[in-house]
Chains A and B, each alone.
Chain A
Amino acid sequence: MLTYTLRRLLTAIPTLIFISLVIFLLLEAAPGDPLADQPLTIPPEVREKMRIALGLGEPVWVRYWKWLVQFVWVEPRVVLDGWLGTGFAAGEARIVSWQFRAPVFDIIWQRIPQTLWVVGMAYLVGVLIAIPIGVYSAVRQYSWFDQIGTFVSMLGFSVPTFFSGVLLIVIFAVNLGWFPSIYDTTLRVTDWDSFVRQVRQMALPIAVLALFNASQISRFMRASMLDNLNQDYVRTARAKGLPERRVVLLHVLRNSLIPVVTVVALGVPTIFGGAIITEQVFKVNGLGQLLITAIYANDLPMVQTLTFIFAILIVLFNLIADILYGLLDPRIRYD
């Protein structure tokens, strides 16, 4: 297992370097200009000077190499400096965003809390709702509960969040006035009052995202349960005279969870990717909103860094999912 993990980690390195190069070249080839959102009243000569000040005068390869060195060598040392109070990276050029003229990683760190709170919580809530629904729907297949479950998950999966989000805002924020429509990222939870405010402002975005996540995972759960319910070992368990409750919750559920755990693990990187649309709708302004505004502003260092971080997370969680699969299912051995 250990050698397998090490081998996978080592092969991940050239894969990631290749991914970073592809991302960089794709962004380079894409049309657009970081000064496009500057007003037309700025004359062309001034624009040209601004462009050179952004470092756009250098050739593509130089810029790629600089970015790569900053990402793998300078930035980790900056993190180390932050933890240990050392000065390894003092005075070295970091990856700087074109829109903010500020280090990309500082802004990413600033955005992570609200994304983890809202999108991460929605994922957790989604999983917690999905598993019991999936189990019950499978056990009572074609019952009214299963039919409604199927209908709701179809709805949750097919209705886009820009529709369901705005719908919830119109109902619960505009008409009923129960929840705010704008997420306040400066709110700090210090007492009961601010905690209630935090819960209220998280309620709508979490509801929208959890519905989406739950509908996906509950289908997986149901399918996996149905696969197992017809297995021989279930018949054996029933024949032994075990109560149905124990058969389902102990034998079938544990075996059915194996593929679901993999699916859930593979979905974790999407939390960090943020929920671009939902974050925009509720103005959560997390990583998803950061990415989309950077794309609009043609802030290539920001887009490049964020997409590469997502790539790392996806490769990493693929590995974690594989390892978990091996741990949970003794039949599978990689060595």
Chain B
Amino acid sequence: MNPRTVLAGATALVAMALPALAERGASGHLNIIYWQAPSILNPYLSGGTKDIESASLVLEPLAGFDQNGELFPRLAEAVPTVGNGGVSADLTQITWRLQEGLLWSDGTPVTAEDVLFTYDYCTHPEGGCAQGAAFEGIASIEAPDARTIVITFTAPRPYPYQAFVGATSPILQKAQFENCLGAAAPTCTEANFGPIGTGPFRVTEFRPNDVISLEANPNYRDPAKPAFATVTFKGGGDAAAAGRAVLETGEMDYAWNLQLAPDVLAGMEAAGRGKVINAFGTLVERIEMNLTDPSPDLPEGERSTVRHPHPFLTDMRVRKALSMAIDRELLVEIGYGRAGRPTCNIVPAPPMFASDNTDCLVQDIEGAKALLEEAGFRPGPDGVRVNGDGLRLRVLYQTSTNAVRQDFQALIKQWWNEIGVEVELKNIDASVFFGGDPGSPDTFQKFYADVEMYANNFDGTDPEPYLAQYLCSRIPGPENGWQGENINRYCDPAYDALLAELSRTGEIEKRGEIARRLNDMVTKDSYVVVPLVDRGRNSAHALSLGGVVLNTWDTELWNIENWYRVR
């Protein structure tokens, strides 16, 4: 070994040891870019990911999720469970205990009163709170002493970790938001743009839809952290520009959610300045089948309602054939590369809840054709299958406007044509498609098409509310202003019964088993939902940035207090 390598090795060792010895602010300045710019730093007034994740630098919940989707305490001393007595045996009460000596960034103590206030803030009837769902089913919330919070539920709650867990549900400071309840919430611009928090950083300047300047919180509970003294959180532009800024020009240190074609991303990474990281969560791109008739011949108010069953998609053989014709491997390769994998489940993770269903992974054109024959559809003179009653297999396939989705539409159309199904494609601007305007015919809830494609996921790690979307009572229609998540108009009493069982079950293994069965009921047993791709997330960081662990269960910036500059 020559002296030079020894020296190099020693330098490397010192470099590795540095973060451990580092003190607060030793790493200097950090540049983060989100190509969607944050509009507000109060997650209770906006559910947008950009807003929640930027606010997570400042505001913290009682507990968060780590990269494996497991709960860990943030402001709480420990995560309450039945085992440690934090959750009552009848599952109706949970007791959180705050860590001792917690301070807000302004130096005042954090108390249980702040947690109670946060509940009042979000549940105020005039507030329009974006996270209202997390606080549903809470009968009362009390603070027996300054560090204890007792939440009582109206019914047994097998999974009690929704309120105050994860970046979507952080604690606000009562003193700051006291006069911002209800209708007054939007008037508190100063508080909404610069919340006082407990997180590793505090806001020095917020320019909406542009940039946030932050500095290390002097009262952060770990005196050695964060390693960065200041942060610039820039927003705006597009994913390609954000990727370029980290991977090619090196102006930025971290770029969020780079939805770029696999080859584009690989080309940028080749510049050697940064690294693309990816991880998987619960986001699944899927095709939803309409079980009701969307025909424009029906009068308005009756189209796509349960009064008129779909002429052929109510036949499971047709739905299954449509699924069998799809080559999911190819879709992943073209659309997502490393950030995608084929799936047959709507609940792809966490492992506990993910079914082992892999039936759909192999494309089977011949099998699909045979199935359609069996259902009575034979090729007509133009190749499109027709049944004895003269019913043509013709589908309108809609989705939102997005380059990858249009590629998917073209490929799937080709496969469906091959099995004798005529396909008409339609794409709708995302703000209209997902907008939920009851006056528009083009929303995904109205579903004036035979099949539609989009992606959906669930917050945190418990899929119960997500699986509850397929209950009979959640069918959208004119009588409820087209509000409802059961957009397939699927209704199976056995599903409803099994879901009711899930909401009574506390044992985690049993919950997993029921959730897997529910997943199978809407996917491989009925093909009402045809999952395509389990979509992971690509982010990128500069090679000089250490400590980054990508987390899809909570905010991506979940462990920013541990990030440091590699020297």
Interface set of A (CB-CB < 8 Å, partner B): 31-33, 35-54, 96-97, 99-103, 106-107, 110-111, 169, 173-174, 177, 180-182, 184-186, 280-281, 283, 285, 289-290, 293, 296-298
| Contact among B33, B39, B187 for A99, CB-based, below 8 A | B39
A43 touches B436 (CB 8 A): no
With known contacts A41-B47, A174-B244, A281-B241, A32–B39 Cβ distance under 8 A: no
Output the nearest chain B residue to A53 by Cβ-Cβ distance. Answer: B128
Output the nearest chain B residue to A169 by Cβ-Cβ distance. Answer: B244
With known contacts A32-B435, A181-B241, A296-B431, A44–B40 Cβ distance under 8 A: no
B435 touches A35 (CB 8 A): yes
Interface set, chain B 183-236, CB cutoff 8 A to A: 183, 185-187, 189, 192-193, 205, 207-211, 213, 232, 234-236
A283 touches B236 (CB 8 A): yes
B110 vs chain A, min Cβ distance (A) = 25
Interface set of B (CB-CB < 8 Å, partner A): 33, 37, 39-40, 42, 45-49, 125-133, 183, 185-187, 189, 192-193, 205, 207-211, 213, 232, 234-238, 241, 244-245, 248-249, 251-252, 271, 429-437, 440, 442, 456-459, 465-466, 476, 481, 483-485
Which residues of B have CB within 8 Å of A283?
234, 236-237, 241
Which residues of B have CB within 8 Å of A103?
189
Output the nearest chain B residue to A52 by Cβ-Cβ distance. Answer: B128
Interface of B (DSSP majority class) = loop
Which residues of A have CB within 8 Å of B251?
180-182
Which residues of B have CB within 8 Å of A174?
244, 248-249, 271
With known contacts A53-B185, A181-B241, A185-B211, A46–B133 Cβ distance under 8 A: yes
Bound complex: CA A100 to CA B51 (Å): 10
Which residues of B have CB within 8 Å of A97?
208
Which residues of B have CB within 8 Å of A53?
126-128, 183, 185-186
A50 touches B128 (CB 8 A): yes
| Contact among A38, A110, A280 for B130, CB-based, below 8 A | A38
Bound complex: CA A50 to CA B440 (Å): 19
Bound complex: CA A307 to CA B127 (Å): 29
Which residues of A have CB within 8 Å of B185?
53, 101
B211 touches A285 (CB 8 A): yes
Bound complex: CA A297 to CA B459 (Å): 22
A279 vs chain B, min Cβ distance (A) = 9
30 intermolecular pairs with C-beta atoms under 8 Å apart: A36-B430, A36-B435, A36-B436, A41-B47, A43-B133, A44-B436, A44-B483, A46-B131, A46-B133, A49-B129, A51-B128, A52-B128, A54-B128, A99-B209, A100-B40, A101-B40, A101-B186, A103-B189, A106-B189, A107-B208, A111-B210, A169-B244, A177-B249, A180-B251, A182-B245, A185-B210, A281-B241, A283-B234, A285-B236, A289-B210
A31 touches B45 (CB 8 A): no
B209 touches A38 (CB 8 A): no
B192 touches A101 (CB 8 A): yes
Output the nearest chain A residue to B132 by Cβ-Cβ distance. Answer: A46
Output the nearest chain A residue to B432 by Cβ-Cβ distance. Answer: A31
B236 touches A31 (CB 8 A): no
A36 touches B431 (CB 8 A): yes
Bound complex: CA A184 to CA B434 (Å): 33
Which residues of A have CB within 8 Å of B238?
280
Bound complex: CA A51 to CA B128 (Å): 7
Which residues of A have CB within 8 Å of B187?
96
A45 vs chain B, min Cβ distance (A) = 7
Which residues of A have CB within 8 Å of B244?
169, 174, 181
Which residues of A have CB within 8 Å of B33?
182
B120 vs chain A, min Cβ distance (A) = 15
Which residues of B have CB within 8 Å of A42?
47, 130-131, 133
With known contacts A174-B248, A280-B236, A47–B241 Cβ distance under 8 A: no
B435 touches A44 (CB 8 A): no
A-B CB proximity, top 10 nearest: A53-B128, A33-B435, A44-B483, A101-B186, A36-B435, A50-B128, A285-B210, A36-B431, A102-B189, A99-B39
B209 touches A100 (CB 8 A): yes
Which residues of A have CB within 8 Å of B42?
101
Which residues of A have CB within 8 Å of B126?
53
